[in-house]
Amino acid sequence: MDEKIINNIRSLAIDMIDEAGSGHPGICLGAAPIIYTIFAKHLNYNPSDPNWINRDRFIMSAGHGSALLYSTMFMAGYGLEIEDLKKFRQFGSKTPGHPEYGVTQGVEATTGPLGQGIGIATGMALGGKILEEKYTLEKEKKIDNDKPLINYHIYVLCSDGDLMEGISYEAASFAGNLNLNNLIILYDSNNISLDGILSYSFTENVLDRFKALGWYTDVVKNGNSVNEIDNAINKAKKSGKPSIIEVKTIIGYGSIWEGTNKSHGNKLESDDITNLKTKWGLPNEKFHFDLEAKKDFSNQLTERSAIKYEIWASNYRRYVEERLDNDDSSLKYLFNNQFVNLLDYKWDFSPDLNEGTRVTNGQIINVISEMLPNFIGGSADLSSSTKTYIKNGKDIEDNKYNNKNIWFGVREHLMGSVLNGLSLSKFKPFGSTFLVFSDYMKPAIRMSALMNLPVTYIFTHDSIYVGEDGPTHQPIEQLASLRAIPNLYVYRPCDANELVGCWNSIINSNKPSALSLTRQDVKLLTESDMTKVANGAYVVRNETARLNGIIIATGSEVSLALKVASDLYTNFNIDIRVISMPCMELFLKTPLEYQKTLLPIGHKVIAIEAGSSFGLEKFVYNQNYLITIDKFGTSANAKDVLKYCEFDYDTVKEKIKGLLK
C-alpha cells in the first residue's frame, strides 16, 4: 500500500506539471517516498482544525517541488480537491507555482527562494521551544501525560540548492547553538543541480558540516525505502539535537531522464508519462487516483493525529481552567490579536530631551514588552548599539527558551527568516541591525511582505551622520530600496513623539514594518505629534501668511527643515510650510483630499532626506527640488561628511532659498 500511495502521488504530480506546461517533475519522482513517510508516519496534523497550535509543521524549503506537496496533501485528505490540482500554476488557484502561505490551507510558509524555508523553519522551531517551556504541564497538577502542552516538530524537505545558499549555514549554526531538537531536515540528495552534475559546484561533506555545528546526522542510502526513512526519523526524534537526514534519491526516478538535470525543470514527454503509469499499474488517464490508496493515506494521518489531538485538547481544557485569572498563561495571546494603545501611556519625555531615536526606542520597546507577552526579539550582535535589549526579558539560551532576548549573532540574513518563523508561530518579533546592513536581509524582508507578517525590522545608524565609519557604514540607497518593497511600511520618525506614534501603528496594524532610527542626537520637537503619525504625514509648521513653498522632510531632517523655514521667513520673508512624513506608505493610503490639503496643487514642493532621491520624485515638480544624497559618503567626522555630501545646514538653506525666492 505504501508503494501504491507513493506512485499515486507521483502520477498526480506529473499530471499537474503536464497540464500546466511547466514545473519540476524530477523532485516529484525522486522525493515522493520522503514526503509520504513524513505525512503518513510522523506528521501530527488535524485537517478539521488546521490551525491547531500543537500541530507539527512541514516546510517544503525546496519550493520548486510544489506539485509534490499538493499531490501529497490531496492524497492525505487536506482541503485540496482534484480540480485544484488541475489548476496548478493557474491564476487564482490554490496551487500556485511555489507554495504560498495564506493561499493553500496546510502550507505553513511561503517558500521558493532557496534556503528561506530552512531559515523560517528554524524560527518556527525556536517558537516551538519557547512555547514548550512556557506551557509545561506540572506533575503536581495531575494532568494527563506529564509532558509539555506544546511539543510539536518542524519537518523540512530541502534540496542541495537550499544547502548551497549561505542562509543554510547561518540557520544550522544558530539552531545548533540553541539545540533546537524539534527541527528535522530531510535532504533530498540526488547529486544533480539545475545546470548539471552537482560535483561541479558542490562537493563538501554536508553531514560533517552539520555535525560540527552540533546536529545529529544520518544517511538513508535507499531513498525509495519507506522503512529506512521512517527509522531514520524515529532516531532523529530521540537524538536530543536538531537533525538532518541525508536521503539518497534519484532525480526523475523511473523516467527516461532519470538521474539527469533534464528532469529538474522540464515537463516530461507524453510517451514517458504513459510508460511511467504502466510501470506503476495505473491507467493512462490524467488525474486518475486510487480511492482505496487515498483513504488509506488519509486514515494513517487522521487516526494517529486524532489520538494526540484528543489528549492535547483534554490537557488544554484543564490547563486553562486552572489559570483563568492569568491571561499570559492561558494561551490567549496566541489566539487573539491584542490592541495596545501606546498613545494613552504616560510617556515622561523631558522637554529638553536630546538623544538618538535609537536610545528612545530602547525605552519604548521595553514598555511594549510589558504589555505584550509575545513581543520578543534581538539583534545581529548589535544590541549595545541598536539599544534593543529587553531589560527584564532575560536571554534565550539552550534549555532556557522562555525568555525574550534572542542572540542572533552576526547573522542578518538568518535573523530575518527566524523572525518570519516566529511570526508564523504567533509571536510579534523584532530584529535589529544598522540600516546599511538591511541589504543582507532583503530576501527575508521580502518574504515578510509576501506573507503579510507582523515582523518589525529595527534599523539604526540611519544616515551619513555616522561619520567616521565611512561609506561602508553610511546608508544611502537603503531607505529607497526598503520603500520599493510592496506591503512593507517604512517608518522614519523625527523624534520621541513620532516614534511612539510609529510603534502604535506598527503594533496594531499586524503588517510588516521597518523602523529607521538615528544614532545622532535629535531634540524633542514642540511641533511633533504622535497622534498624527497614523496619517503618515502632517504639518509641523504652517505658513504664516502667504504660502511660498512646502518642504517635506523625514526623520532627523525635520528639525533641519524647521530651522531653515524659520531662518528664511525671518531674514527673507519666504513663508514655508513644513511637513513631516514619518511613513510614506501610510500617507499614500490616506484619502486624496487629505493629501491635497497637505500638498495643494500649484505650489513648489521640496523634499529633504539624507539618502537617495529615488522614490521621492513623486512629490516634487522636478529633480531640482530634491535635496538628497545620491553618492557614497566618506570617512570623516559628521560635520565634514555633511559638507562633502552638500548636506550641511548652509548648503541646504541656500538651495531652498534659490528654489523659492
Active site residues: 412
Q: Is the dihedral of CA 63, 65, 69, 70 positive or negative?
A: positive
Strand ranges for 542-604 from DSSP E: 549-553, 576-580
Q: Is the dihedral of CA 49, 51, 57, 62 positive or negative?
A: positive
Entry field: residues in the chain:
661
Rounded to the nearest angstrom, the gap between the alpha carbon of residue 544 and the centroid of all alpha carbons in its chain is 46
> In whole angstroms, what is the distance from residue 363 CA to residue 367 CA?
7
Residue 279 burial (C-beta neighbours within 10 Å; 0-12, 13-18, 19+): exposed
What is the full DSSP assignment across 341-354?
-GGGS-----TT-E
What is the identity of the amino acid at 562?
L
- 3-state DSSP call for residue 162? helix
- 3-state DSSP call for residue 7? helix
**How far apart, in Å, are the Cα atoms of 462 and each of 68, 528, 569?**
44, 20, 30
> In whole angstroms, what is the distance from residue 483 CA to residue 398 CA?
37
- 3-state DSSP call for residue 543? coil
What is residue 327's DSSP assignment? T
Nearest to 378 by CA among 565, 624, 178: 178
State the residue for C-alpha cell 506537496.
Answer: 69
Largest alpha-carbon pair distance within the chain? Answer: 91
- 3-state DSSP call for residue 4? helix
> In whole angstroms, what is the distance from residue 254 CA to residue 63 CA?
22
> In whole angstroms, what is the distance from residue 197 CA to residue 488 CA?
39
> In whole angstroms, what is the distance from residue 566 CA to residue 577 CA?
10
> In whole angstroms, what is the distance from residue 414 CA to residue 441 CA?
8
- HSE at residue 12, side-chain half, CA atoms within 13 A, is 33
> In whole angstroms, what is the distance from residue 25 CA to residue 382 CA?
44
> In whole angstroms, what is the distance from residue 357 CA to residue 502 CA?
12
Residue 54 contacts residue 310 (beta carbons within 8 Å): no
Residue 647 contacts residue 610 (beta carbons within 8 Å): yes
State the residue for C-alpha cell 522636478.
Answer: 622
> In whole angstroms, what is the distance from residue 186 CA to residue 597 CA?
58
How many CB atoms sit inside 10 A of residue 402's CB?
A: 14
